[in-house]
Structure 1
Amino acid sequence: MKRIWILCLIYIIGMCDNGYADDVETRTVSLSLTDAIRLAQLQSVDAAVALNELKTAYWEYRTHKAEQLPEIIFTGTLPSYSKQYSKYQQSDGSYTYVQNNVLGLNGEISIEQNIALTGGKIALNTSLDFTRQLGKSAYNEFMSVPVSLTLTQPIFGVNDQKWKRRIEPVRYEEAKAAFMESVETVTITTITHYFNLLLAEDNLAVCKQNLENANKLYEIAIAKRKIGHISEIELMQLKQSALQAKAKVTEAQSNLNSMMFQLRSFLGLSERDRIEPVLPEVITGVRLDYQQVLARAQENNSFSKNILRRQLEADYDVATAKGNQRSINLFASVGYTGKDLSFSGAYNPLKDNQVVQVGVSIPILDWGKRKGKVKVAESNREVVLSKIRQEQMDFNQNIFLLVENFNNQAAQLEIASEVDSLAESRYKTSIETFMVGKIDILELNDAQTSKDSAKQKHIEELYYYWRYFYNIRSLTLYDFLNNCTLDAEFEKIVR
């Protein structure tokens, strides 16, 4: 990622040095496919969305890690004042109302720590309660809990902390792989927009050339008609072809403007920028092996992490249901407490005011409710595993088809290039032959149509070549040109 930033900076500086910014109205930017991909990965809205999703996953993982650390909590009431009548039961059983006029302050500090080994929680607490009785016989009173240790521990139940420590790292690795795949998806979208502009630009050039040829042929046809070498119908056909060629130029120009706007908008460039795409070259000598590609995909793709996470979550749900079936919750607390009219007296540890509590919560009869939840969780796990098996087969098949298409596309591209050259030569020969009167206008139009189609087909085959290549790269997160895994400095990216 750092290298991409540097390359983008060099590219922008190069634009300024070459004088692209001198023209205030319009500046022409010669943009290769590689440059367009780098700009899209840095400036496109899709890249920004992918980055925000990564940040969300990062902070969720940070929250999980923070749950393993001690948490310090302060709670308090500062202050509490009450002046009112309260119901009071006397020794003879009758009730009366007494006036209560009191000012109170209380605070508690607790340090809580999850126990990853057992799934319980331990807490260390200290608290102080101050009461000032107001009125004629005003006095102060303090009550303290100098130290209290509390343990909450499920017995036979599921250890949530253990399962989270297994699931959350996998979830974060899945998010990182998904981010890299989103960046590669931006690349594929860039390729589509880039080749759409290439096709539109080439189509406009072809239409302009056809218009020029049609006008020349029409002028020649006028002279030939005067000497009777062609018929009036053929002359009208040539004039019609010239008008149609002119209309196609206007249509092609509008299409070019539309494709230019789409690519410019996706790359985040200004409306003053006029992009000149450069026809990319083919990678020579690259042939991919299915087993190697599949191994890279299973190693790096978010799909493999997604499968592992879903299996763990399904197992966790079953373990939770089984744990709840026979769960016993243990609660234990031990500490000191003190009460005195003075602050120091309330903290006197010599007084016999120890507190010990032990409690349990044991399910006895639930009429099969917990057993039913176990069966539901186990059924859901089987559904998840069945879906995973099907998705794995589809994933492998998709990899196989992409590798086959890429390996075959080089041959398709070579054929399209040869057909393009032949169609261009045929059209030039057809013009010369038509001018000497050896072919008619229908054969000339057929040669022109074949030439235009072959040119577009050549660019389309080149587009499929690069699309297949980057589709495989996005699935494997592996650069087969440089033989290295695609990676990024995630800690720096999210900050």
Structure 2
Amino acid sequence: MTFKKSFSFLILLFSVNYTYCQSALTLSLKDAIHLSQINSLDYKISVNTARSAFWNYKNYKSSFLPKLSLSGYTPDYYRSINSITLPSGQISFVGQNVANSSLFLNFAQNIGLTGGNIAIGSSLSRLDNFGNYNNTSYTSIPFTLSYFQDNLFYNDFKWQKQIEPLKLQEARRGYVENLENISLNTVSQYFDLLLANIQLKLDQQNLKNIDTLVKITKARSEIGTVQLNEVLQSKVSLLNAKSALANSTLNVETAQQSLIRYLNIDKSQLIELTIPDSITQFEIARGAALEQAHYNRKYIVEFKRRRLEAEQALSRTKSETGPKISIRANIGLTQTGGTLGQSYRDLLMNQSVTVGINIPIIDWGVNRSNRKRAEANLELEKNNIAQQELAAEQEINYQIMKWEMQNNQISISKEVRTLAQQRYDIARQKYALGSITYTDFNNAQLEKDRAITDYINNLRNYWSMYYLIRRLTLYDFERNKKIDLIDFSKDADW
């Protein structure tokens, strides 16, 4: 985690509202999202995934920078009997007691335009003979210029130049999408706990109310104003309320631990959540959403990269299965002598050229089948990309349609909640006065509970779709602002 992220994390922890009666941490939805985006394990995975892509790109860029290396061995000593060929052509076994020492200085550069490698080098070797003919000799190559290319018909560097920047851009967009995914996951975890808390409070209040009404029902039964059926029904409701409260308590503990683990905070921390009912009603045009997705989403770059990789595979296969020409050439100066100075005087030309040719003649259709397979893979990838692109557009259209409907659902469910609460209050009073049956009261209670949970579920749907549309478009339509991409090159910790 960067210093800036760590500082933000500390500021968040000190800025949230603490209630000390149970050492509970009060979080709003935005607090939870911010915390998950700087501290969760999903965030750390996203950071390291993006960091890996960044350093892969740096490695690619470095491959086109010149490289200077110094190598050698001193000494390479051996004493043995080896077979040598005499000037007469006869082979004889001769004892050798020799030490070699060499030093090589090499300056190399990849050539993106051609796909080859050019190098400038210099070397010095010394041979010490400790046998019957004790002597020392030097061989120098003060300067040599060489060029090597494995295949004149295929340039891997040309494809890398197109593909590697796309991989980096894909990683940048993917990182932002991952952050939006974290927001979406946080919304789910947040509302799981919020709903569990609300259900617990409802069950606690219902148990208290039913317990009171059971006592009233018993008292009315004793004076004969209610039937036994209502007494039994009230007792069943009391038992069901106790069972519901036990389940709600367990659900709260489970949901709280799940959110704590996701936020990656102290497991013993209690959490209090606020209801995120401060929402903004705004419209999203489908055309604008599709346009922003086309400009911002990761899959646009991914599809282009996949198409290029399939074309690269076809080009490589054609070069490997067709005529192949390689070239290796060097030109330089060299000399040998009994002393170091002599090996650098009266330098001689040192040059060589090797052109390799490989032409397939009979392969029983192996090369042709490889080419056809690469062509089929390219067409398959194009079709897959077209299908996935269409599916992405359909998903955006579908979510925008749901968004348009959801704006109305919030206001409707809020009004239903208010009305259901009023009906429940009236029903409780009427039952206490004996003017309605227990069944009517029970129905009012169920409708009240359902209306409250429906309202929270509609809020959940609102925020889930809000962050889902942000992820699908990488655009904040509430503020009419593009979600900024991270610039890896400006982050010192990358």
Bin of the TM-score, shorter chain as denominator length: over 0.9
Is 1:40 aligned to residue 41 of structure 2? no
Taking structure 2 as the reference length, the TM-score comes to 0.94
Inter-CA distance 420–136: structure 2 relative to 1 (3 Å threshold)? same
Deviates more, 1:149-158 or 1:415-424: 149-158
Tell me which residue corresponds to 2:382: 385
- Write out aligned runs for 1:328-407 (5 A): 328-348=325-345, 350-351=346-347, 353-367=348-362, 369-407=366-404
* Cα distance in 1, alignment partners of residues 18 and 229 from structure 2: 53
* Cα distance in 1, alignment partners of residues 312 and 437 from structure 2: 78
Letter in 2 for 1:465: Y
Structure 1 residue aligned with 2:228, among 232, 247, 270?
232
- Write out aligned runs for 1:275-286 (5 A): 275-286=271-282
Structure 2 residue aligned with 1:289, among 278, 285, 288?
285
Tell me which residue corresponds to 1:63: 59
Is 1:430 aligned to residue 431 of structure 2? no
Tell me which residue corresponds to 1:143: 139
CA offset digits 1:3-30 (Å, max 9, x no partner) = 8766543322235xx666x78xx51111
Tell me which residue corresponds to 1:464: 461
Inter-CA distance 112–302: structure 2 relative to 1 (3 Å threshold)? same
Shift of 1:271: 2.6
Contact 2:18 2:24 in 1 (8 A): no
Letter in 2 for 1:363: N
Deviates more, 1:117-126 or 1:207-216: 117-126
* Cα distance in 2, alignment partners of residues 68 and 93 from structure 1: 49
Inter-CA distance 154–7: structure 2 relative to 1 (3 Å threshold)? closer
* Cα distance in 1, alignment partners of residues 123 and 4 from structure 2: 55
Letter in 2 for 1:364: I
Deviates more, 1:172-181 or 1:265-274: 265-274
Shift of 1:157: 0.8
Gapped regions of structure 1 (runs ≥ 5): none
Tell me which residue corresponds to 2:168: 172
Shift of 1:154: 5.8
Tell me which residue corresponds to 1:10: 11
CA offset digits 1:277-304 (Å, max 9, x no partner) = 1111243231111111111111111100
* Cα distance in 2, alignment partners of residues 272 and 369 from structure 1: 65
Tell me which residue corresponds to 1:194: 190
Q: What is the DSSP-based 3-state SS (H/G/I as helix, E as strand, rest coil) of the residue aligned with 1:343?
A: coil
- Write out aligned runs for 1:205-224 (5 A): 205-224=201-220
* Cα distance in 1, alignment partners of residues 278 and 294 from structure 2: 27
* Cα distance in 2, alignment partners of residues 147 and 305 from structure 1: 46
Inter-CA distance 247–493: structure 2 relative to 1 (3 Å threshold)? farther
Deviates more, 1:482-491 or 1:399-408: 482-491
* Cα distance in 2, alignment partners of residues 73 and 313 from structure 1: 32
Deviates more, 1:436-445 or 1:197-206: 436-445
Contact 2:147 2:329 in 1 (8 A): yes
Tell me which residue corresponds to 1:258: 254
Contact 1:4 1:38 in 2 (8 A): no
Inter-CA distance 184–244: structure 2 relative to 1 (3 Å threshold)? same
> Identity over aligned residues, as a percent?
30
Tell me which residue corresponds to 1:274: 270
Is 1:419 aligned to residue 420 of structure 2? no
Is 1:490 aligned to residue 488 of structure 2? yes
* Cα distance in 2, alignment partners of residues 107 and 358 from structure 1: 24
Inter-CA distance 444–47: structure 2 relative to 1 (3 Å threshold)? same
Is 1:316 aligned to residue 312 of structure 2? yes
Letter in 1 for 2:52: T
Deviates more, 1:361-370 or 1:298-307: 361-370
Inter-CA distance 261–161: structure 2 relative to 1 (3 Å threshold)? same
Q: What is the DSSP-based 3-state SS (H/G/I as helix, E as strand, rest coil) of the residue aligned with 1:149?
A: strand
* Cα distance in 2, alignment partners of residues 150 and 374 from structure 1: 33
Inter-CA distance 79–156: structure 2 relative to 1 (3 Å threshold)? closer
Shift of 1:110: 1.3
Shift of 1:311: 1.2
* Cα distance in 1, alignment partners of residues 354 and 84 from structure 2: 32
Deviates more, 1:61-70 or 1:325-334: 325-334
Tell me which residue corresponds to 2:471: 474
- For this pair of structures, how many residues does the alignment match? 488
Contact 1:157 1:320 in 2 (8 A): no
Contact 1:58 1:494 in 2 (8 A): no
* Cα distance in 2, alignment partners of residues 220 and 464 from structure 1: 40
Is 1:444 aligned to residue 405 of structure 2? no
Gapped regions of structure 2 (runs ≥ 5): none
Structure 2 residue aligned with 1:118, among 93, 114, 119?
114
Letter in 1 for 2:337: D
Letter in 2 for 1:441: Y
Inter-CA distance 493–292: structure 2 relative to 1 (3 Å threshold)? farther
Contact 1:110 1:125 in 2 (8 A): yes
Contact 1:73 1:110 in 2 (8 A): yes
Q: What is the DSSP-based 3-state SS (H/G/I as helix, E as strand, rest coil) of the residue aligned with 1:74?
A: strand
Letter in 2 for 1:449: L
Deviates more, 1:86-95 or 1:404-413: 86-95
Contact 2:43 2:179 in 1 (8 A): yes
* Cα distance in 2, alignment partners of residues 332 and 371 from structure 1: 32
Letter in 2 for 1:48: K
CA offset digits 1:41-67 (Å, max 9, x no partner) = 111111111111111101110010001
Inter-CA distance 288–38: structure 2 relative to 1 (3 Å threshold)? same
Deviates more, 1:113-122 or 1:430-439: 430-439
Contact 2:117 2:149 in 1 (8 A): yes
* Cα distance in 2, alignment partners of residues 136 and 94 from structure 1: 20
Shift of 1:347: 1.6
Structure 2 residue aligned with 1:152, among 145, 148, 151?
148
CA offset digits 1:425-459 (Å, max 9, x no partner) = 22112112222222212222121111111111111
* Cα distance in 2, alignment partners of residues 405 and 297 from structure 1: 17
Contact 2:323 2:359 in 1 (8 A): no
Contact 1:218 1:242 in 2 (8 A): yes
* Cα distance in 2, alignment partners of residues 493 and 131 from structure 1: 50
Q: What is the DSSP-based 3-state SS (H/G/I as helix, E as strand, rest coil) of the residue aligned with 1:337?
A: strand
* Cα distance in 1, alignment partners of residues 261 and 188 from structure 2: 14
Deviates more, 1:139-148 or 1:363-372: 363-372
